[in-house]
């Protein structure tokens, strides 16, 4: 048995060959993590002493330079002997997740095949801005959706993109949904707003990744209306911009809030109330932020976009502890791809190590 000493944790933990993250979870340590499969970087830590066997990880999530510097992903490594490790993020006990009934109290159709649902849970639920919930309708598979509401809200708001053959998203688009029952399970996830930070906030939302960013931005502005925040709303085309009027109203209310739409595939400049850029969001980030050293960066959207943003942010001097990601896919192909990748990685991990139960990774639709 190897021993894992975690900085700021009172007792060493015993490891029987499983990943560092699995040891943390099995011992009830509130070590930050999200995907448990090497795709988000939430479990990044620093090895202070000892050696680990580390599986491969996307360069954008854990770069070669970071690895050489001692950074590891707790979900992708296992100790080779006794180790000492530090979490990059705070060890915070998150609000407890629970499963309960809820009812659809509002439904709106938006551009870009997006359905906005409000669900009132049977009991008020405590959550942090930017977390996600699993929703289950009828006998359909449960899916993870980030919440757009502010903590303390009675209703939970979700932005759901309707995808071809998507069972859950197709159900969310039904005409007779008001009053329907849904099972709500949560909150989950570590892509939440960090309150103990005074610097600027840079929020990057890809598609319906806007939902958790609205929650984070709203909570941050509620606490300090003068906070400097720049939201990049990344979409492919004009028709994907589904929340413009509300963002415009926020910008009017809070002069320190900037919102930029970065459209990667738009053919011709179009007019809109919010400023447009006709480029990838990574280019917008580079142009506006030569140095991200004082900032907190929150990113939610497709895994490839999250990875690309993470790589650029590193070039712009963002410290690893200041990057908070929520990668997900709302397309059938991506969801299946992500689920398959996660399953294969977990199967390989189980094959070599004793099993420890991990929660399901967050994919939005299949």
List residues binding ligand FES (CB under 6 A): 33-36, 38-43, 73, 75
- Minimum Å distance from CB 44 to ligand FES? 7
Q: Which is nearer to ligand FES, 38 or 218 (CB)?
A: 38
Q: Given the complex with ligand FES, which of 184 and 204 has the nearer CB atom?
A: 204
Q: 71 or 103, CB closer to ligand FES?
A: 71
In angstroms, rounded to a whole number, what is the distance separating the alpha carbons of residues 366 and 351? Answer: 27
C-beta neighbour count of 129 within 10 angstroms = 27
Q: Residue 21 or 220: which CB sits closer to ligand FES?
A: 21
Q: Name the residue among 167, 150, 147, 45 with its Cα closest to residue 102.
A: 147
Closest distance to ligand FES from the beta carbon of 188 (Å): 12
Beta carbon nearer to ligand FES, 61 or 250: 61
**Do residues 95 and 126 lie in contact, with contact meaning Cβ atoms separated by under 8 Å?**
yes
Taking the complex as a whole, how short is the minimal distance between the CB of residue 106 and ligand FES, in angstroms?
A: 32
Minimum gap (Å) between residue 286 Cβ and ligand FES:
24
CB atoms within 10 A of CB 335: 19
The smaller minimum CB distance to ligand FES, of residues 13 and 172, is found at: 13
Q: Can you list the pairs that 303-307 forms with residues at least 24 positions away whose Cβ atoms lie under 8 Å? A: 303/39, 303/327, 303/328, 303/329, 303/334, 303/338, 305/204, 305/206, 305/234, 305/281, 306/39, 306/40, 306/60, 306/206, 307/39, 307/58, 307/59, 307/60, 307/61
CB of 330 to ligand FES, least distance (A): 18
Residue 279 contacts residue 250 (beta carbons within 8 Å): no
Contact predicate 215/129, CB 8 Å: yes
Closest contact distance (angstroms) between CB of 150 and ligand FES is 26
Which residue number, 75 or 349, has a Cβ lying nearer to ligand FES? 75
State in angstroms the smallest separation of the CB of 57 from ligand FES.
Answer: 7
């Amino acid at each position: 048995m190897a021993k894992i000493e975690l900085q700021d944790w009172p007792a060493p933990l015993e490891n029987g060959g499983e990943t560092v993250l699995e040891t943390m979870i099995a011992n009830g340590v509130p070590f930050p993590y999200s995907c448990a499969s090497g795709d988000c970087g939430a479990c990044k830590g620093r090895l202070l002493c000892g050696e680990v066997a580390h599986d491969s990880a996307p360069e954008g999530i854990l770069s070669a330079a970071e690895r050489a510097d001692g950074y590891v992903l707790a979900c992708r490594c296992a100790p080779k002997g006794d180790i000492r490790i530090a979490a990059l993020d705070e060890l915070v006990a998150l609000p407890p997740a629970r499963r309960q009934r809820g009812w659809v109290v509002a439904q709106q159709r938006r551009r870009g095949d997006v359905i906005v649902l409000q669900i009132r849970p049977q009991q008020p639920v405590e959550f942090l801005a930017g977390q996600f919930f699993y929703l289950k309708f009828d006998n359909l598979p449960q899916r993870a959706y980030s919440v757009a509401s502010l903590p303390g809200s009675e209703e939970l708001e979700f932005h759901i993109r309707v995808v071809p053959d998507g069972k859950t998203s197709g159900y969310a688009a039904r005409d007779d949904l008001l009053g329907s029952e849904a099972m709500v399970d949560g909150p989950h996830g570590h892509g939440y707003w960090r309150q103990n930070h005074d610097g600027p906030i840079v929020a990057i939302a890809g598609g319906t990744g806007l939902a958790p960013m609205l929650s984070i931005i709203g909570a941050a502005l509620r606490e300090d209306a003068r906070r400097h925040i720049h939201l990049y709303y990344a979409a492919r085309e004009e028709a994907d911009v589904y929340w413009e009027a509300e963002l415009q109203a926020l910008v009017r209310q809070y002069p320190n809030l900037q919102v930029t739409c970065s459209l990667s595939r738009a053919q011709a400049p179009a007019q809109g109330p919010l400023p447009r850029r006709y480029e990838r969001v990574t280019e917008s980030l580079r142009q506006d932020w030569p140095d991200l050293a004082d900032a907190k960066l929150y990113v939610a959207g497709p895994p490839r976009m999250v990875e690309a943003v993470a790589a650029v942010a590193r070039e712009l001097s963002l410290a690893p502890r200041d990057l908070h990601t929520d990668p997900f896919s709302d397309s059938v192909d991506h969801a299946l791809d992500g689920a398959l990748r996660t399953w294969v990685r977990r199967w390989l991990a189980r094959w070599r190590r004793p099993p420890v139960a991990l929660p399901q990774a967050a994919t939005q639709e299949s």
